[in-house]
């Protein structure tokens, strides 16, 4: 079988097309090889997942909560946006100058002597003047009146407490330390007793919420 010879101009065009396609294919393959190699080189050293059960909670003012805590959250972090007006009919969104931190919620099993629940209740009671005015004045400063904001006087350690969430590996080795400064309780959940609980043995759990000043994450204690 024979073919008619291509005109010179058509032969030139065909040659350029083949050369271009070969160049494109070579570029794509080279790019893929480079991308694959770069991606492979950026794999993290530890491919294990974070398990929600691998944690330990340490609260200086709540020693009886350590072995009974069943849940705690790392607080949320957000930055408010500011809308900058323009003469173009659009508002330009820029980040605000303050960071907003969410609250911390701790869930724990109430021990039989109710010591962990009582620790929290006592702490919260001392923060107000409703139960013992004399203890309240000694705690926050003699010059402070009830319902006035804390002015920096008084016993800081009696009002606030540092908290640490120890995140552990699958082998239960400490891996990360989330240190929370200036925490104080804002709510303590109810204790519910119920004789109609089905499904066998059950335990009383309680939830407490905390506000705080700041937190940091470290790899060492």
- Gyration radius from the chain CA atoms: 32
Q: What is the pLDDT of residues 39-79, one digit of tens each?
A: 556 777 788 899 999 999 999 999 999 999 999 999 999 99
pLDDT tens-digit readout, 66-75: 999 999 999 9
Q: How confident is the model at residue 27 (pLDDT cuts 50, 70, 90)?
A: low
| pLDDT average, residue stretch 90-116 | 93
- Could you give the 3-state DSSP secondary structure of residue 33? helix
Residue 37 has pLDDT above 50, yes or no: no
Domain 55-218 bears CATH identifier 1.10.730: no
Tokens encoding 179: 């240190």
Across the range 182-187, mean pLDDT stands at: 95
Expressed in percent and rounded to 5, the helix, strand and coil fractions of the chain are 30, 30, 40
Average pLDDT, the chain: 79
DSSP secondary structure code for residue 63 in this structure: G
Question: What are the CB-based long-range contacts (under 8 Å, 24+) for 10-13?
Answer: none
- Pull the structure tokens for residue 203: 């335990």
For residue 116, count CB atoms less than 10 angstroms from its CB and return exposed for 0-12, middle for 13-18, buried for 19 or more: buried
pTM score, two decimals?
0.69
> Which pLDDT value is given to residue 147?
45
- What ranges do the domains of the chain cover? 7-43, 55-218
- pLDDT band, very low/low/confident/very high, at 3 (cuts 50, 70, 90): very low
According to DSSP, the residues that pair with 93 across neighbouring strands are 83
pLDDT band at 146 (very low <50, low <70, confident <90, very high): very low
pLDDT over threshold 90, residue 207: yes
The stretch 133-149 carries a mean pLDDT of 52
**Model confidence band, residue 26 (pLDDT cutoffs 50, 70, 90):** low
**Rounded to an integer, what distance in angstroms lies between the CA atom of residue 207 and that of residue 103?**
13
Average pLDDT (10-18) is 50
**20-25: which pairs have CB atoms within 8 A and are 24 or more residues apart?**
none
């Amino acid at each position: 079988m024979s073919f008619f010879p291509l005109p010179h101009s058509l032969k030139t065009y065909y040659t350029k097309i083949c050369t271009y396609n070969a160049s494109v294919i070579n570029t794509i393959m080279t790019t893929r090889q480079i991308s694959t190699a770069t991606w492979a080189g950026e794999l993290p050293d530890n491919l294990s997942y974070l398990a929600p059960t691998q944690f330990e909670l340490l609260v200086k003012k709540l020693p009886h909560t350590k072995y009974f805590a069943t849940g705690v959250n790392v607080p949320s972090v957000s930055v408010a946006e500011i809308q900058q007006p323009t003469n173009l009919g659009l508002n330009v969104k820029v980040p605000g100058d303050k960071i907003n931190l969410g609250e911390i919620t701790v869930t724990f099993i109430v021990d039989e002597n109710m010591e962990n629940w009582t620790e929290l209740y006592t702490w919260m009671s001392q923060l107000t003047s409703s139960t013992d005015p004399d203890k309240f004045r000694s705690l926050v400063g003699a010059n402070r009146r009830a319902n006035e904001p804390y002015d920096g006087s008084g016993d800081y350690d009696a009002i606030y407490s540092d908290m640490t969430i120890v995140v552990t590996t699958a082998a239960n080795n400490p891996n990360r330390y989330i240190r929370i400064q200036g925490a104080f309780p804002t709510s303590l959940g109810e204790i519910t007793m119920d004789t109609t609980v089905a499904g066998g043995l059950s335990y009383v759990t309680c939830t407490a919420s905390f506000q705080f000043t700041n937190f940091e994450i470290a790899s060492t204690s």
